[in-house]
Structure 1
Amino acid sequence: MKITLWTACLLSSVAAYPSVQERQTEDHSWRAPSATDRRAPCPMLNTLANHGYLPRNGADISMDILVAGLKAGVNLGADATKLVGATALKGSTTGNASTFHLTDLNKHGLIEHDGSLSRADIFSGDNHSFNATIWASTASHFTSPTISLATAAKARKARLAAAQAANPQFNMSDGDKQASMIETALYLNVMSNETGVTAVTAWVQKLFTQERLPIEEGWKRPKGEIGVPTILGLVGLIGVAGI
């Protein structure tokens, strides 16, 4: 694709999609997805689509849309979002290499991986739908009003062990392991009680089980931007705590 055409597509996507400031004034009430709306194996992205920070139909998401949506919804920095977005675009089935559908993330090994905290492994045949049994197993470790880093690391470690025992084809690359720890770091940050390392258990439950921002329960968008240094710092701690 020529640079001029790529630029035209990019500018058109920005013009057609509101800025962060504009999207903060829109209706971001939670709405359950319809039967035709596309969703991913990622609770966070699904949640943002359910609130309209990402397209509610889950389709044709550009990097600009992703960055704006994650910034407005949960104050995730562009540096962190672009790492996810670059990977997501590799699985695009939209016919436009600069956009992707949330369902494109169902592809095993792209972003989805074995040992999910709330999804079954691809070996089971469904690696994208919320699995209440698996989540109950993960959440069984969350016995206090808040989830500490040590508890989150323990829950992740136990989930990986259970998946490995149940799945004869279980496999996690180094990239998958990193993604798994990033996912835990992300929910600890986004659902924290402003400590950055301690999440509110009830809020985490709503995120995973209802794919809803727990605003009614008292959650507020993090004040400080969550960037790559913050996330990777937590990843390191999770890795140590999970050994």
Structure 2
Amino acid sequence: MLFSGAGELFQNIYIFTWDVLLALVNVVTPNKKPGTVVPHGLPGAGGKWPKFVAPKKGDSRSCCPALNALANHGILSHDGRNIKFTEITDTVRTTFNFAPSFCRFVPSFMAQKLHKNYKTDACDLADISLHNAIEHDASLTRQDAKFDPDQGKPYLPLINDLLASATGKDEDGNLMLTTGDLSRYSSKRRTEARATNPDFTLDTFHKLFGSSNSSTLLTIFGGKVADLEPFLTEERIPEQWEPRVRSRMGLTFLAFNRTVLTVEKGIKEGTAPITEETALLS
């Protein structure tokens, strides 16, 4: 056990050192040009995504909209089963333009929590919804596991409320979520979840993990509500969409954490009213 813990520590040191180097490369190299973020010849290149097929009975889906979308488009196995952790790393990298350090760390963490080997083992998407591993209470797109143990389907009342909270607009007048919007909505969500869920838990790690999840809506998706609506409600990638992060080496932890910490810093638990919708969950 001691060796295993030491191994994980050195692996994390390696990944985060790697991440800093990738962030430096991003500083000194030009961004990818619009239309070229997804590499040529891969699904999504030039904004051309494989056909969306909604999950069928028996298909495995997770608490993660991004992974579910990859399965719904057949970029990962459509049934969501027996997917290697290394395949998740490679596919998330090329589809969403996260940095390779980022794409290595998260599936490695998944494998660790599932007591599996990152390099050799596989999982079903539903496995990722292990409570208080990746999945956590007060999600912005799912009811708490107390009320929905499956976690494989988006909860539309929450998502619609989230999108309706957007206050920003871009230069073309498109409605946008902002860091302030996500902080306010996360405050409301945590307050309501704590009040209605007798089994509610949310430690510091999962608070930051929750803010990380919500921050991808601002970074990879740029906060644009018109793009987020199909992605969150149907777990479908919009036609002609491409990642909004165009950094040469992708979105690094170092760059990403600026958004995460801004969102988390703005969350004020206990200041949001209980709505009629969520009160019904108690």
Aligned residue in 1 for 2:81: 59
Following superposition, the deviation at residue 88 of structure 1 comes to: 1.6
What letter matches 2:198 in structure 1?
P
What letter matches 1:164 in structure 2?
R
Aligned residue in 2 for 1:111: 134
Aligned residue in 2 for 1:121: 144
Following superposition, the deviation at residue 29 of structure 1 comes to: 2.4
For residues 49 and 196 of structure 2, what CA distance do their matches in structure 1 show? 43
For residues 95 and 77 of structure 1, what CA distance do their matches in structure 2 show? 22
Counterpart pick for 1:206 among 219, 227, 230? 230
Following superposition, the deviation at residue 183 of structure 1 comes to: 0.3
Partners of 2:138 and 2:189 within 8 A in 1: yes
Following superposition, the deviation at residue 22 of structure 1 comes to: 5.5
What letter matches 1:137 in structure 2?
D
1:150 aligns with 2:174: no
| TM-aligned CA distance change 1:209 to 1:238, over 3 Å | same
For residues 116 and 85 of structure 2, what CA distance do their matches in structure 1 show? 14
1:89 aligns with 2:119: no
Aligned residue in 1 for 2:203: 173
Partners of 1:137 and 1:159 within 8 A in 2: no
Counting only pairs closer than 5 Å after superposition, residues 63-78 of structure 1 correspond to structure 2 as 63-78=85-100
Following superposition, the deviation at residue 92 of structure 1 comes to: 4.1
Which digits, 9 at most, give the CA deviation of each residue in 1:189-239, with x for residues without a partner? 1111xxxxxx10111111110101122xx5323322112112212111112
Aligned residue in 2 for 1:131: 155
Following superposition, the deviation at residue 125 of structure 1 comes to: 4.0
Following superposition, the deviation at residue 81 of structure 1 comes to: 1.8
What letter matches 1:183 in structure 2?
N
Task: Report the more deviating stretch, 138-147 or 32-41.
Answer: 138-147
Q: TM-score, normalising length from structure 2?
A: 0.69
1:236 aligns with 2:243: no
Partners of 1:49 and 1:56 within 8 A in 2: yes
For residues 191 and 95 of structure 1, what CA distance do their matches in structure 2 show? 31
Local SS of the residue matching 2:146: helix
For residues 221 and 185 of structure 2, what CA distance do their matches in structure 1 show? 16
Following superposition, the deviation at residue 93 of structure 1 comes to: 8.6
Local SS of the residue matching 1:54: coil
The unaligned stretches of length 5 or more in structure 2 are 1-38, 169-174, 269-282
Following superposition, the deviation at residue 21 of structure 1 comes to: 6.1
Aligned residue in 1 for 2:16: none
Aligned residue in 2 for 1:162: 192
1:184 aligns with 2:214: yes
Which digits, 9 at most, give the CA deviation of each residue in 1:155-175, with x for residues without a partner? 122111111111122110122
Higher relative contact order (CA 8 A, sep 6+): 2
